[in-house]
Amino acid sequence: MRTDPATLLKNLEPSLPTGILGLYLCGSAARGAQGPHSDLDLLAVLQESITHQERRQLVACLLTLSGWSGHAEHFPEAANRQPLEFTAVVRGDVVDWPYPPRLDFQFGEWLRSELMAGAVLESQPEPDLVAFIADACQNHVTLFGEPLYALLDPPPAELVRLACREGAPGLLQELPGDERNALLTLARMVTTLETGEIVPKDQAAHGLAAQLPPEDGSLMEAAAAEYLGQSVVDWPAHRDRVESLAQRLVSAICR
């Protein structure tokens, strides 16, 4: 079920931390190009770090608003809700773009088991934040607060390239069970290194597929089609091909 941003904001507002400077809709939703499997990405820019109590309150709220179809077995109450990804940064932690930048708070459905068990996620260094904010600076919708450009400068291009190279190998660990997203993320990293732009995942996959041998290109096209809800892929049936392609893409990104 798709989440309406205005309704989401109304439900979130009572649980948002004090000192929030702005909240922004990012990613495919901001581009108007969400696939049926897409998260709804939110970025919050803060004046100061979220307190322990605010973290608990925000997590409790997000657990009731977010969900994922893959939770049908273990968390059936959340299976019919759209997944939300909520990322928060303290403005002072990223204003001069140290590397790796510091993530103050993050919520995503991959964390549901830990969060339901009472985990409280604290501030931590996060290289992936570079590409996320670079994309947000290019494509976002202000839900409330100051314009994003008034709070943050885009990360330097060399930092985006470094984050791609350092982040790519970790995607090999995520490949089993998340083949589509891993391949699409690698395709976008390749495109970013070649062009300096962060483009939608399906666009990156189509562009890369045209440069690959036919067998590899067909895998990329299959990932893009599934992302857009046009097909369902039996990824375990293509395990060896997927692993081989992913490893070669990581090598190309890291060279």
C-alpha distances out from residue 237 to 181, 219, 233, 234, 243, Å = 17, 12, 9, 6, 12
Q: Are 211 and 202 spatial neighbours (Cβ–Cβ below 8 Å)?
A: no
pLDDT of residue 237: 96
| Residues that are catalytic | 85
Q: What is the pTM of this model?
A: 0.90
pLDDT at 1 (0 to 100): 60
pLDDT digits (tens, 9 = 90+) for 84-108: 999 999 999 999 999 999 999 999 9
pLDDT in tens, 73-87: 888 888 889 999 999
103 phi and psi angles, rounded to 5 deg: -95, 125
Q: Where are the domains of the chain?
A: 5-151, 157-254
What pLDDT digit, counting tens, does each position of 186-238 carry? 999 999 999 988 888 999 999 999 999 999 999 999 999 999 889 999 999 99
Helix ranges (DSSP H) in the chain? 5-12, 27-31, 52-65, 91-94, 112-116, 129-138, 148-151, 157-174, 179-195, 201-209, 214-227, 239-254
